[in-house]
A and B are shown apart, each in its own frame.
Chain A
Amino acid sequence: MSVIIILIVVSILVALFFLAIFFWAVKTGQFDDTVSPSIRMLFDDKKQSKSKEEIGDKEQKKGK
């Protein structure tokens, strides 16, 4: 049965690991602002090249 003791110790250590991560997250201010990141993550990096193309198109039009 002593194997269960090892298992318990391991599981508690894993749980402690997650608790430590939670502490780290709080201490680095990740819970201070919960709104901006939700907006920020929707910004699309790829769109930039697309808008560049658009500008390029316009310049071509102008050239004509």
Chain B
Amino acid sequence: MAGMNKVEKPLCFHCGDTCDREHIVFEEKDFCCNGCKTVYEILNQNDLCIYYDLQKNPGISLKSKKFDDKYAFLDNEEISKLILDFNDGEKAKITFYIPSIHCSSCIWLLENLYKLTDGISHSRVNFVKKEFSADFNPSIISIRKLVELLSTLGYEPSISLEDSNKKSEKSINRSLYLKIGVAAFAFGNIMLLSFAEYFGFEGLEMNVQRFMSYLNILLSLPVVFYCASDYFKSAYSGLSQKFINIDVPISLGIIVLFLRSLYEIISMSGPGYLDSLSGLLFFLLVGRWFQNYTYQGLSFDRDYKSYFPLAIYKYVEGRLRSIPVSQIVKGDEINVRNQEIIPADGILKSSRANIDYSFVTGESNPVSKEIGEYIYAGGRQLGESIRLEVVKPVSQSYLTQLWNNDAFTKEKNQNFEILINKISKYFTVAVLVIGLGGFLFWIDKDLKTALNAMTAVLIVACPCALTLSAPFTMGTTMRIFGNRNFFIKNVNVIERLLNITHIVFDKTGTITYNQKSEVNYEGELVMQEDFRNIKALAMNSTHPLSRLLAESIDENIDNISLEKYVEITGAGLQAVVGGYTYKLGNRDFVVQNAHNSFMTTDATQIYVSKNEQLLGRFKIENKYRDGIQEVVASLKSKFNFSILTGDNKTEEQRLIDLFGEASAYKFKQSPQQKLNYIVELQKSSENVLMIGDGLNDAGALRQSDIGISVTDDTSNFTPASDAIMTSNALRYLPDFMDFAHISHRIVVAAFIISFLYNIFGISFALSGGLTPLVAAILMPLSSISVVVFATTITNLMAKIKKLI
């Protein structure tokens, strides 16, 4: 085993990797590869070695990173203008997403880039979003040079088709911050001006008191017309759809508060409740801010565009020219180079291609294609560049046409009603009935008292505490999940988790490891020598399966020579090794007409023969993620399962062993079929949780009630979904489901507490005893106590459940 090797290997000074393959010593420092050494040299020459003082081994490993003329397309102005934020020839602005930003050294180096090269006047890093923006002079340093410089340093920006339609999105939070600021300003000042009133101080002259009251009205105007505008809008749009949401009683409370205060001040019958009004808005907005917390570093709505390239090389009159991907039309001949993504369906014109579909299907073993074969877009070519004749333009390709489905255009989960809105109907009706009751009770006495009682009920019942309980409980839960690497898009996802009845898993890459495959040998006993010879033979081929096989055999193959090596494409290999003729390959190639017991399934397997005598076969199977068994076992009693996979039935038995007979298994599913399967489940009134990883799951993730994409690294691409989970968090899935229920119960408990406050307040109101002072105390007290209750209990429960 490799882990047994105890020899201390030096760590790379730049990136911190072990220097095992290569070891370069430069200026008494160890480097693991030439790339790392080069970066050190560049930084050293430019006095930028603070980079290494800020963090230990801050660099990004540059092993196997080559970009020769990968970015030559950026010299094409038509393409470069797509990604520039601004350009007037002298000054240009550009923003990149750089996934490898990870520490303070990164920020420091990227912001000191101007010391490294001329032409950059200013650069900034947004650490959370992993965004790098620079002002530069394009006549001194071209975009291509800039990108290449970043790549040399290990900060390769991700440039994709998505960059071409950049929206200049301003943070939505900005207006919320402003509103909170205004509300806080008004709240503080109105309270200050009302102090005399609170303590019944009567020494003030009449005109001073009047002045203060009118100032209060002035201060409350922006609160009502600016800060509260969202609540009015939401209440109005709810009502126009004949639906009473929680914003209806809130708006009602705000309007009544304002009008009654206005009346009291103008008629000089009282000081009004403007302090309560602005305080109410302040707390509500803070609650909204807490709830709107988002993971800025993650993107929950990526489609194929953020994965597809921006430009591609097209053959124009025998020469290569880069064109934007969106301009590809049927019949174009394009050139796809090593490590590039194939942007459109096409027919292979080169003799052979080796395509890695891991982003699409989660399957890590590359697929070999022959000349004339149809190639689907989305794969990554490995090896030498290939020539393709485009059959369908980008948006109509097999994979991308999935995004033309209805599921992507309509708003998701429109019909889902969150708990608070379910309650608000009854709440609003009850408040109106009680208010009217109070009015009728006092009407005999006099109209003024009756109106006072009714408005007091509407004021005190304004569901501030009620509205705050869910945001703070769910917001805290969201952060707790985040600590466990389960990142949800918004707090509604937690409530939707409660209704899930059916869990659909994608197989490859989700419940199996992306990278690891198990190679198992089945057949007659073979001598160690045979294994060694087989490895030597497999080493000679570049075919992915041969590679995998060679890697799986742990033998020393020095001094083994091959003779008469033949590789037949699409069949297998053959050679004389150590005096025996070995054949490796598919069934037809290795065994002619033989019928043997282990030739039943068409698994990914390599047959092997020695001197035309069949020895056995190597089965290549996916390795299931650790802990997946426990996850299934603990979820089994509560949910139904389905497994969707694009693969064939090879692994059916293993899956049944894992998930049981009762689950549904669907093999060879296209992206569209996966989506359709979810639709069918939903038609039989199941609430579906889909867990997937690749682009081929994108439709199903979108259609399902909750889609969770699993990824090994959150800076990797993930298809649009409601939540993103790192693969090591998958084992906590049952805990997350449980905790969603706990949070729900906490919300209900907080509701009950705020109802108690309401009943208490209403009894005051009905008796006509709701003075501005009581309102000013009761309102913040109830809100703060509910917030404290919700956050502490949620954190406490998370501790008990060992989630934090």
Say whether, besides A23-B178, A33-B129, A51-B50, A1 and B104 are in contact (CB < 8 Å). no
B205: A residues at CB distance < 8 A: 1
A16 vs B181: C-alpha distance when bound (angstroms): 11
Say whether, besides A1-B205, A1-B208, A51-B49, A36 and B126 are in contact (CB < 8 Å). yes
B125: A residues at CB distance < 8 A: 36
Whether B178 lies near A39 (C-beta < 8 A) is no
A55 vs B49: C-alpha distance when bound (angstroms): 9
A8 vs B213: C-alpha distance when bound (angstroms): 12
B174: interface (CB < 8 Å)? yes
Chain B 71-103 against A: per-residue CB contact (8 Å), 1 yes, 0 no? Answer: 000000000000000000000000000000000
Say whether, besides A4-B208, A12-B215, A31 and B177 are in contact (CB < 8 Å). yes
CB distance from B324 to the nearest CB of A (A): 30
A2: B residues at CB distance < 8 A: 208
A26 vs B177: C-alpha distance when bound (angstroms): 7
Whether A36 lies near B171 (C-beta < 8 A) is no
Say whether, besides A5-B211, A19-B185, A42 and B44 are in contact (CB < 8 Å). no
Whether A42 lies near B104 (C-beta < 8 A) is yes
A35 vs B127: C-alpha distance when bound (angstroms): 7
Residue of B nearest to A5 (CB): B211
Say whether, besides A35-B127, A36-B126, A23 and B181 are in contact (CB < 8 Å). yes
Whether B193 lies near A8 (C-beta < 8 A) is yes
CB distance from B115 to the nearest CB of A (A): 10
Residue of B nearest to A45 (CB): B50
A39 vs B215: C-alpha distance when bound (angstroms): 43
Whether A48 lies near B47 (C-beta < 8 A) is yes
Say whether, besides A15-B189, A19-B185, A58-B27, A31 and B53 are in contact (CB < 8 Å). no
CB distance from B114 to the nearest CB of A (A): 14
B530: A residues at CB distance < 8 A: none
CB distance from B204 to the nearest CB of A (A): 7
A12: B residues at CB distance < 8 A: 189, 215
A52: interface (CB < 8 Å)? yes
Tell me the residues in window 39-58 of chain A with beta carbons closer than 8 Å to chain B beta carbons.
Answer: 39-40, 42-44, 47-48, 51-52, 54-55, 58
CB distance from B110 to the nearest CB of A (A): 10
Say which residue of B50, B173, B185, B204 sits within 8 Å of A48 (CB atoms): B50
Chain A 1-30 against B: per-residue CB contact (8 Å), 1 yes, 0 no? Answer: 110110010001001100100110011010
CB distance from A48 to the nearest CB of B (A): 6
By CB atoms of chain A within 10 A, which of B108, B177, B193, B212 has the most?
B177
B303: interface (CB < 8 Å)? no
B182: interface (CB < 8 Å)? yes
A48: B residues at CB distance < 8 A: 47, 50
Whether B193 lies near A55 (C-beta < 8 A) is no
B189: A residues at CB distance < 8 A: 12, 15
Whether A55 lies near B108 (C-beta < 8 A) is no
Say which residue of B53, B107, B128 sits within 8 Å of A40 (CB atoms): B107
B17: interface (CB < 8 Å)? no
B664: interface (CB < 8 Å)? no
B111: interface (CB < 8 Å)? yes
B177: A residues at CB distance < 8 A: 26, 31
B204: A residues at CB distance < 8 A: 1
A7 vs B129: C-alpha distance when bound (angstroms): 46
B54: interface (CB < 8 Å)? yes
A27: B residues at CB distance < 8 A: 174
Main secondary structure of the interface of A (DSSP, over half): helix
Whether B50 lies near A19 (C-beta < 8 A) is no
Chain B 173-196 against A: per-residue CB contact (8 Å), 1 yes, 0 no? Answer: 110011001100100110001000
A interface residues, how many (CB within 8 angstroms)? 31
Chain B 464-500 against A: per-residue CB contact (8 Å), 1 yes, 0 no? Answer: 0000000000000000000000000000000000000
A26: B residues at CB distance < 8 A: 174, 177-178, 181
A4: B residues at CB distance < 8 A: 208
A40 vs B112: C-alpha distance when bound (angstroms): 11
CB distance from A20 to the nearest CB of B (A): 10
A21 vs B27: C-alpha distance when bound (angstroms): 51
Whether A52 lies near B47 (C-beta < 8 A) is yes
Whether A8 lies near B27 (C-beta < 8 A) is no
Whether A36 lies near B193 (C-beta < 8 A) is no
Whether A55 lies near B47 (C-beta < 8 A) is yes
Whether A39 lies near B182 (C-beta < 8 A) is no
Whether B107 lies near A39 (C-beta < 8 A) is yes
Chain B 194-221 against A: per-residue CB contact (8 Å), 1 yes, 0 no? Answer: 0000000000110010011001000000
Tell me the residues in window 152-184 of chain B with beta carbons closer than 8 Å to chain A beta carbons.
Answer: 171, 173-174, 177-178, 181-182
B215: A residues at CB distance < 8 A: 8, 12
A42 vs B151: C-alpha distance when bound (angstroms): 26
B49: A residues at CB distance < 8 A: 51, 54-55
Say whether, besides A12-B189, A35-B128, A36-B126, A43 and B108 are in contact (CB < 8 Å). yes
Whether A22 lies near B181 (C-beta < 8 A) is yes
By CB atoms of chain B within 10 A, which of A35, A36, A43 has the most?
A36
Whether A33 lies near B174 (C-beta < 8 A) is no
CB distance from A14 to the nearest CB of B (A): 11
Residue of A nearest to B182 (CB): A19
Whether B212 lies near A8 (C-beta < 8 A) is yes
CB distance from B133 to the nearest CB of A (A): 11
A23 vs B179: C-alpha distance when bound (angstroms): 10
Say which residue of A8, A15, A22, A36 sits within 8 Å of B128 (CB atoms): A36
Whether A32 lies near B171 (C-beta < 8 A) is yes
Chain B 124-147 against A: per-residue CB contact (8 Å), 1 yes, 0 no? Answer: 111111000000000000000000
CB distance from A2 to the nearest CB of B (A): 8
CB distance from A42 to the nearest CB of B (A): 7
Say which residue of A5, A19, A32, A55 sits within 8 Å of B208 (CB atoms): A5
A44 vs B204: C-alpha distance when bound (angstroms): 56
A29 vs B205: C-alpha distance when bound (angstroms): 45
Say which residue of A5, A40, A42, A51 sits within 8 Å of B47 (CB atoms): A51
Whether B127 lies near A36 (C-beta < 8 A) is yes
B173: A residues at CB distance < 8 A: 31-32
A51 vs B46: C-alpha distance when bound (angstroms): 11
Say which residue of B50, B124, B174 sits within 8 Å of A31 (CB atoms): B174
B174: A residues at CB distance < 8 A: 26-27, 29, 31-32
A31: B residues at CB distance < 8 A: 171, 173-174, 177
A43: B residues at CB distance < 8 A: 50, 54, 104, 108
Residue of A nearest to B127 (CB): A36
CB distance from A31 to the nearest CB of B (A): 5
Whether B208 lies near A47 (C-beta < 8 A) is no
A58: B residues at CB distance < 8 A: 27
Residue of A nearest to B126 (CB): A33
Whether B27 lies near A39 (C-beta < 8 A) is no
A60 vs B27: C-alpha distance when bound (angstroms): 13
B54: A residues at CB distance < 8 A: 43
A52 vs B115: C-alpha distance when bound (angstroms): 14
B50: A residues at CB distance < 8 A: 43-44, 47-48, 51
Interface pairs A-B: 3 shortest CB-CB = A36-B127, A33-B126, A39-B104
Given contacts A22-B181, A43-B50, A43-B54, 8 further A-B contacts (CB under 8 A): A16-B185, A26-B174, A31-B177, A32-B174, A47-B53, A48-B47, A51-B47, A58-B27
User: Can you list 15 A-B contacts with CB-CB less than 8 angstroms, sorted by A residue number?
Assistant: A8-B215, A26-B178, A26-B181, A32-B173, A33-B127, A33-B128, A36-B125, A36-B126, A39-B107, A40-B107, A43-B50, A43-B104, A43-B108, A44-B50, A58-B27
